[in-house]
């Protein structure tokens, strides 16, 4: 007898729930900020990627309204069919200039950019090499591309070199996150560049979490490592994290961008983002350039958090970025910590498999330039109290 769709899905959901892996959407009643409101009350928020505090910045907000007054709401078509405006074009030019490349191309989101770029650059008969901890959108891009897909151990450049040496595909594309989204560490970009050069492989860096945050000017992890378009020909970054708006872009040579316009399906077959959003992003980019103190303050808070967490013996990972996960191991322990934090009015992301490997569940704490030192201290005190209660209770630390 056949099972109805809802019965089958009910069974699958209960398996997910029993494992403690059920995800729920929560609806917030206030803009992205260190203090967030829900119907249950106010929370101190350490779960946002709004690293520079621009998502609700007055200048960015008013650029969005002015943009809407000038351009209306929807773009009404894909970029190639009338959705592209001078506002989009100017944003692309400014982004390209900011990251020191000839041209840039906008995509509706980082997910779409990654799937579109990888699908355009490689095909059957080619090979693609990725860090095991790369973002899901890069993995999906590779799986959909029909190229042979190989993954190397996290940040293991020696293994990448071996895989490249043993491979004879026509074209080889190496892809890495610039900053790993669930670990916060920066990829060993210089070493990856060296191996790619030795083995004639192309390199793509996804700088979703480095853009706006790393490098002297905020141009990201690639600029921070002193690497140019010759070494990293394909640079992708998102606009919904440090820039505080939405969308993503790819930057590189004239040839790269021209080719993506022909062949990146997620660019060709998707409606352009509203021009008003492009206007807001242009303003956010100006704030990034005019207010370097936001970045400095952010890095200061990162140092403060790490010093305090180390002193309290919290399970820090080796990250110098605003992503500061606490590695808790098992899902039960993670949920206990998350709930205890919540009871104290603090929010951090509970990251479980399959987003991260089994046994590496973690509390993903993210800091932003909008937090105060006092708020970071409150977080540290609360975490230290949770840790010491756990020790007193003699709780096991799951592997």
Ligand X SMILES: *Cc1c(COP(=O)(O)O)cnc(C)c1O
Nearest to 368, CA basis, from 45, 31, 36, 43: 45
**Binding test (CB under 6 A) with ligand X, winner from 110, 119, 218, 330:** 110
Q: How many Cβ atoms from other residues are within 10 Å of residue 51's Cβ?
A: 28
What is the Cα gyration radius of the chain? 22
- Whichever of 288 and 387 has its CB closer to ligand X, that residue is 288
What is the spatial distance between Cα 191 and Cα 209, in angstroms, rounded to a whole number? 20
Nearest to 117, CA basis, from 242, 21, 207, 19: 207
Q: Tokens 């191991």 identify what position?
A: 329
Crossing angle (nearest 10°) for helices 331-343 and 373-392: 130
- Whichever of 139 and 161 has its CB closer to ligand X, that residue is 139
**Binding test (CB under 6 A) with ligand X, winner from 50, 206, 231, 283:** 206
**Binding segment toward ligand X, per CB under 6 A, in 80-88, 205-213, 328-336, 347-355:** 205-213
Strand order in the sheet with 35-38: 35-38, 41-45, 346-347
**Binding test (CB under 6 A) with ligand X, winner from 85, 130, 145, 181:** 181
- Whichever of 314 and 351 has its CB closer to ligand X, that residue is 351
Residues 241, 319, 320, 388: which is the catalytic one?
A: 241
| Residue 209 appears among annotated catalytic residues | yes
109 binds ligand X (CB under 6 A): yes
Q: Which residues of 72-82 are buried (b: 16+ CB within 10 A; e: fewer)?
A: eeebeebbeee
The nearest distance, CB 385 to ligand X, in angstroms, is 31
32 binds ligand X (CB under 6 A): no
Residues 138-177 that bind ligand X (CB under 6 A): 177
Q: How long, in residues, is the chain?
A: 399
- Whichever of 264 and 380 has its CB closer to ligand X, that residue is 264
**Binding test (CB under 6 A) with ligand X, winner from 32, 45, 130, 137:** 137
The nearest distance, CB 39 to ligand X, in angstroms, is 26
Q: How many Cβ atoms from other residues are within 10 Å of residue 27's Cβ?
A: 6
Q: Tokens 């008003």 identify what position?
A: 276
Q: How many Cβ atoms from other residues are within 10 Å of residue 101's Cβ?
A: 23
Residues 109, 137, 181, 221: which is the catalytic one?
A: 181
238 binds ligand X (CB under 6 A): yes
| Count of residues that bind ligand X according to CB under 6 A | 14
**Binding segment toward ligand X, per CB under 6 A, in 31-39, 191-199, 202-210, 374-382:** 202-210
Residues 209, 228, 299, 319: which is the catalytic one?
A: 209
CA-to-CA dists, residue 108 to 105, 173, 239, 388, angstroms = 10, 23, 10, 45
What would the x/- binding string for ligand X be over residues 303 to 322, using CB under 6 A? --------------------
First to last CA, the chain: 42
Six token digits for residue 167: 């491979």
What would the x/- binding string for ligand X be over residues 243 to 282, using CB under 6 A? -----x----------------------------------
Beta strand 148-152 with 346-347 is unpaired
- Whichever of 161 and 182 has its CB closer to ligand X, that residue is 182
The nearest distance, CB 139 to ligand X, in angstroms, is 10
Which residues are near ligand X by CB under 6 A? 109-111, 114, 135, 137, 177, 181, 206, 208-209, 238, 240, 248
The set of catalytic residues is 181, 209, 241
């Amino acid at each position: 007898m056949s099972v109805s769709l809802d019965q089958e899905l009910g069974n699958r959901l209960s398996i997910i729930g029993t494992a403690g892996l059920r995800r729920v959407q929560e609806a917030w009643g206030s803009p992205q900020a260190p203090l967030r409101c829900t119907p249950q009350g106010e929370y101190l928020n350490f779960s946002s990627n709004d690293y520079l505090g621009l998502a609700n910045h007055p200048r960015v907000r008013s650029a969005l309204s002015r943009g809407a007054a000038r351009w209306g709401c929807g773009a009404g078509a894909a970029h190639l069919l009338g959705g592209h405006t001078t506002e989009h074009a100017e944003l692309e030019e400014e982004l390209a200039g900011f990251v020191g490349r000839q041209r840039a191309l906008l995509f509706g989101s980082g997910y779409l950019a990654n799937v579109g770029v990888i699908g355009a650059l490689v095909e059957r008969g080619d090979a693609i090499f990725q860090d095991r901890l790369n973002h899901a959108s890069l993995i999906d891009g590779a799986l959909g591309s029909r190229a042979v897909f190989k993954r190397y151990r996290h940040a293991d450049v020696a293994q990448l070199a071996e895989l490249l040496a043993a491979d004879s595909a026509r074209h080889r594309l190496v892809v890495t996150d610039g900053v790993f989204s669930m670990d916060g560490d920066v990829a060993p970009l210089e070493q990856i560049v060296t191996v790619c050069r030795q083995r004639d492989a192309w390199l793509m860096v996804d700088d979703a979490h480095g853009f706006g945050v790393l490098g002297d000017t905020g141009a990201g992890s690639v600029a921070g490592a002193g690497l140019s378009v010759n070494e990293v020909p394909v640079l992708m970054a998102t606009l919904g994290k440090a820039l505080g708006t939405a969308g993503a872009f790819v930057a590189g040579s004239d040839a790269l961008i021209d080719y993506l316009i022909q062949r990146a399906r997620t660019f060709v077959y998707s409606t352009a983002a509203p021009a008003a959003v492009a206007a807001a992003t242009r303003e956010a980019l100006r704030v990034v350039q005019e207010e370097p103190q936001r970045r400095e303050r952010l890095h200061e808070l990162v140092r403060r958090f790490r010093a305090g967490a180390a002193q309290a013996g919290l399970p820090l990972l080796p990250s110098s970025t605003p992503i500061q996960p606490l590695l808790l191991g098992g899902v039960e322990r993670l949920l206990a910590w998350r709930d205890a934090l919540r009871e104290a009015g603090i929010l951090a992301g509970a990251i479980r498999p399959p987003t991260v490997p089994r046994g590496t569940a973690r509390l993903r704490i993210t800091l932003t330039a909008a937090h105060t030192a006092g708020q970071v201290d409150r977080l540290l005190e609360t975490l230290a109290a949770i840790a010491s209660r756990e020790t007193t209770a003699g709780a096991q630390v799951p592997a």
